Structure 1
Amino acid sequence: MFERLTAYLDSIRARDPAPRSRWEILLYPGVWALGLHRVAHWLFTGQLFFLARLVNHLSRWLTAIDIHPGARIGRNFFIDHGFTVIGETAEIGDNVTIYQCVTLGGSNPTNGLAGKRHPTLEDGVIIGSGAQIIGPITVGRRARVGANAVVLDDVPEGATMIGLKARSTLVPAETWLREFIPYGTPCRDGQDCEEVRPDRAETLELQIAELRAEVALLRAERQQPEPPTPPVTRRVRAVRKAEG
């Protein structure tokens, strides 16, 4: 048990450069929330639902992280900072990282019967802060969801999802050359942000403004009247015309 705890704390330290020691990591709200969830989930699987909910409420009061006792969570799960909600039928694989203010929310079943209604996060997934993953969808292995993205459809393995509604940037995980990308957004760290941001609205607006200025300048030059021809030049032209 001590070795598993040490390995878990080391896995967090590999993803977060802030802590100076393992003892500091033990104060993280995400660590406390996961530990209390293990207890609540054990009670939940034993059909001690009231006690499971009691532990869940205690955990939420202490950590500001709400993990339903029924959620299934794998090894080395790390919630950075907190303020996260994870629903009852959510399933989380190994080595998953979630940043603050993330929701793994459920859809309302049309038949009124409770079933699988929350997301499944496979191994190595990273969810950026403020992201909303809604419904019984699957986020594939090593996929990344950028900050404030809203994901309503399945995410292919290794994809990066950004935007509202989230869309894939089609950057395969094999090209990143790194196991961990903070906040699920591989920008300005060995990657060109334009490569992973297909919507470059601000850049395009600046280019359009520059083109408009150039067109206006060309039009102004064409509309300027030609300077009057000096009398000497007119005489020279007349003589040349007569000789020709």
Structure 2
Amino acid sequence: MLTSAQKNSRSRQSFVSLKTKTFSKIAQTLGSDFQIIFERDPAARNWLEVLCCYPGLHALVLHRIAHWLYLQQIPFFPRFLSHIGRFLTGIEIHPGATIGRGVFIDHGMGVVIGETAIVGDYCLIYQNVTLGGTGKESGKRHPTLGNHVIVGTGAKVLGNIQIGNHVRIGAGSIVLANVPNDCTVVGVPGRIISRSGRGCPLEHGKLPDVEASVIRSLIDRIEQLEQKLQTLECDPTQTNDVEDKQQPAHSTRLDSFLADAGELEATFLVCELPQINHSTTDSQLTHATFYTHTTMSHNAHSFPSSATQ
């Protein structure tokens, strides 16, 4: 039968053992945070420079202490420590956020990480990134990042969404929907442009301009329609259903552009041409009616582009 003194002694030993393991884990995590800087940043020269001149590391050190205090349900001090970290580094991390080991916040100014955000191991986050919510709802309202995720400069990842492992998010992108593993996302809103996202983390700027490609397709299509109008004007005996061999290629590119945008509004651009005959004037040809029809489609999009009478 244990005495009261023995029970208290065992309780103290258990408490000390738990705290020792906790601080040992924090120390190991901070060691990973320190070491990853040399692997990710070619400008890192020596340990003293990294220790004194990297605000991302300073922010993580303060956050890991604040997060531990937050888990102990200690009031005020976790938020106050987070506020000090923001003042010193320009990086705002809520003490409730969960951040894995080996995370590197490069440059860091303007980074915001919300209370319920989860960041996996060995993620790379650049300046002006926001991992935020989309409203005033309670509970889990911030994104979850998997392991080895790269978030480019100025990107916004908003809402309770899941970002898979080895995902690359381009600079300035706004991500509002779940992203599977090994994908590259760019644009506003974010669109998946590649499903083999593993690569050198320092090549995050080598991303295609998908918007420019689609705009080029639209311009090409307009030029084709203008040529068709000129042909019909010169030879009114021709019909309007001239075969357009390039139409499927344009539709494919536009469908591909819209396919990974989630439940977005797909705008169908349709051209109505007046009946062509000998009395048709240039004004009537010029003022062909264009109208848009919006629809919601989660699975597939079509983009009819041929002229109709």
Please list, as runs of the form range in 1=range in 2, the aligned pairs for 1:53-68 lying within 5 A after superposition.
Answer: 53-68=79-94
The verdict on how the C-alpha distance between 1:153 and 1:202 changes in structure 2, with shifts beyond 3 A counting, is: closer
Residue in 1 that maps onto 2:128: 101
Give 1:222-237 correspondences, 5 Å limit. Answer: none
CA RMSD of aligned residues (A): 2.9
Identity, in percent, stands at: 42
- Secondary structure at the residue paired with 1:104? strand
- Where 2:76 maps in the other structure, the secondary structure is helix
CA contact 1:129–1:183 (8 Å) conserved in 2: no
Matches within 5 A, 1:144-155: 144-155=168-179
In structure 1, what residue type is equivalent to 2:201?
Answer: I
TM-score by length of 2: 0.59
Report whether the alignment pairs 1:46 with 2:59. Answer: no
Structure 1 gaps, min length 5: 188-192, 220-244
Verify: 1:89 aligned to 2:102, yes or no: no
Q: Distance in 2 between matches of 1:134 and 1:7?
A: 27
Contact 1:106 1:134 (8 Å CA) reproduced: yes
Asked whether the 8 Å contact 2:29–2:101 carries over to 1, the reply is no
User: Where does residue 182 of structure 1 map in the other structure?
Assistant: 202
Deviations along 1:219-241, one digit per CA (max 9) or x if unpaired, are 9xxxxxxxxxxxxxxxxxxxxxx
- How many angstroms apart in 2 are the aligned matches of 1:167 and 1:200? 14
Could you tell me which of 19, 24, 33 is aligned with 2:49?
24
Give the distance between the partners of 2:95 and 2:175, measured in 1 at CA: 23
How many residues align? The count is: 205
Shift of 1:11: 1.4
> Would the alpha carbon gap of residues 209 and 14 (structure 1) be closer, same or farther in structure 2, given more than 3 Å must change?
farther
Deviation digits for residues 151-210 of structure 1 (CA, Å, limit 9, x no counterpart): 00001101100000000002313xx5x3x32263444xxxxx47xx47425765897899
Structure 2: runs of 5+ lacking an equivalent: 1-23, 232-309
SS of residue in 1 equivalent to 2:68: helix
CA contact 1:118–1:137 (8 Å) conserved in 2: yes
Using the alignment, how far apart are the partners of 1:161 and 1:61 within structure 2? 32
Q: Does 1:200 align with 2:226?
A: no
Partners of 2:164 and 2:190 lie apart in 1 by: 15
Paired with 1:118 and 1:167, the residues of 2 have a C-alpha distance of 19
Work out which of the two has the higher radius of gyration on C-alpha atoms and give 1 or 2: 1
Q: Partner residue of 2:273? A: none
Aligned twin of 2:37: 12
Cα 1:171–1:25 change in 2 (3 A) is: same
Task: Give the Cα separation in 2 of the matches to 1:71 and 1:5.
Answer: 16
